[in-house]
A and B are shown apart, each in its own frame.
Chain A
Amino acid sequence: MDFIEYLPPLLRGAGLTLVICIAAGVLGSLIGVVLGTAKASPNWIARFVASIYINFIRGVPILIILLFTYFALPLLLPALTFSRGFTAVVGLSVYAGAYMAEIVRGGIQAVPKGQSEAAEALGMHYFARLRFVIFPQAMKIAVPPGIGFLIALVKASSLVSVIGFVDLTRAGRIVTTLNQEPLLTFLIVGALYFVISYPISLLGTWYERKLA
């Protein structure tokens, strides 16, 4: 079996997987910083709203989030009809946001309380305290688990294939219908996922070692 001819579609799928993961990783991190800060904030309304979002999303499978975004959201509001690629990014970002928020909250709460109190004693406003005292320390703590979650995100992104977006997994499915060799094809698909995610995990190990 000449496999070279099926490699380009798989590589294209891998590229798209990478693109949606980067987009969802960035958007999810933004959501995570906002909601994580809200959950660690002294304001109970902010804490309450953030908790509902975080706990609900973390209790629902990513597949359900994607199906809901793709099939149900347009019925709720026609303006929310997205293309498959956009749905994939929206669904994965919503998902990543909840997990990143927990990581950011953990980072913020791991900063010794004395730091915040000292800054307050110096007359710093809440947001100034966050910006100059808490965040620089909290983010250092949050980066390793955040990198760990990025790996989970890459793997979860394989589910966008279910709503028909041609990512790496979907490309693998299409290729198998052409070459009738699912074993070889999915071994290559798996290897390509490994190539994407293993460097991220090495990056995490490297960063942790640098901190220690």
Chain B
Amino acid sequence: MTLYFGDILPYLPVMLEALWVSIYVTLISFAAGGVLGIFIYLAKASRFRSLKLISNGYIEVIRNTPLLVQLYLIYFGLGSIGINFNPLWSVLIGMTLNNSAYTAEIFRAGISAVPKGLREAGTALGMPFHQTFRYVILKPGIRNVLPALTNQFIVLFLFSSIGSVIALGELTSTLQNLNSQTLRTLEIFSVGALLYFLTSAAIAVASRITERLAFRW
């Protein structure tokens, strides 16, 4: 077995294009899931028992079942009762719902890690609630959750590879197609793994720089 990358070189642009699909699917579902996650967190933190129960049930069900099964439910399951989504929408919906449950838990952990004394100090200084919330709870809260959110973003990016099972044209499905076209299995999957690794490393570095710049105090 000799390695020969010449055969797959012409396909590099195709791979990069597919990598971009992976990235934007991740970006959209991270953003949408983040917003949904805030609402789920608020529901869980609210005083209403029923809201608490529902949001908690949602979080536990999503976090204890595989994304792949959730995707099958959306793509095949809903499809069988007449609610059809194409692969792209199925993946977007699946990843958004999945991400929202994890993000809600990240927010909960981050906000509850803000010491109670801080909030009390804010009130003692005569700050109205919205100011206390914004300057005293939210900002340190965001700083607390940023590393976890980055981690979640990378995990989500890696799991976007699941789109390949329903032939979303992202990186993993493209790698599988190229593999059957060129039969350069070892080279294709090595380069593919490298692309995934470099992207997630870049995300990690970018997040660390943001953290340094945004929270210098």
Contacts and interface: CB of A to CB of B under 8 A. Distances in A.
Interface of A: 55-56, 58-65, 67-68, 71-72, 75-76, 151, 154-159, 161-162, 169, 172-173, 176, 180-183, 185-187, 189-190, 193-194, 197-198, 201
7 contacts: A55-B197, A67-B176, A155-B67, A173-B72, A176-B76, A186-B72, A197-B65
Given A156-B66, A198-B64, A64 B81 contact: no
Contact of B158 (A60, A67, A186, A190): A60
Nearest to A196: B64
A64 B185 contact: no
B65 A64 contact: no
Which one of A64, A68, A157, A162 has the greatest number of beta carbons of chain B within 10 Å? A64
Given A76-B1, A180-B80, A186-B76, A61 B68 contact: no
A62 B61 CA distance: 22
Contacts of B158: 59-62
Nearest to A159: B68
A182 B161 contact: no
B201 A181 contact: no
Contacts of A72: 185-186, 189-190
B196 A75 contact: no
B135 interface: no
A63 B172 contact: yes
Interface in B40-89: 60-61, 63-70, 72-73, 76-81
Nearest to A156: B66
Given A172-B69, A194-B61, A194-B64, A182 B190 contact: no
Interface string B169-180: 000100110010
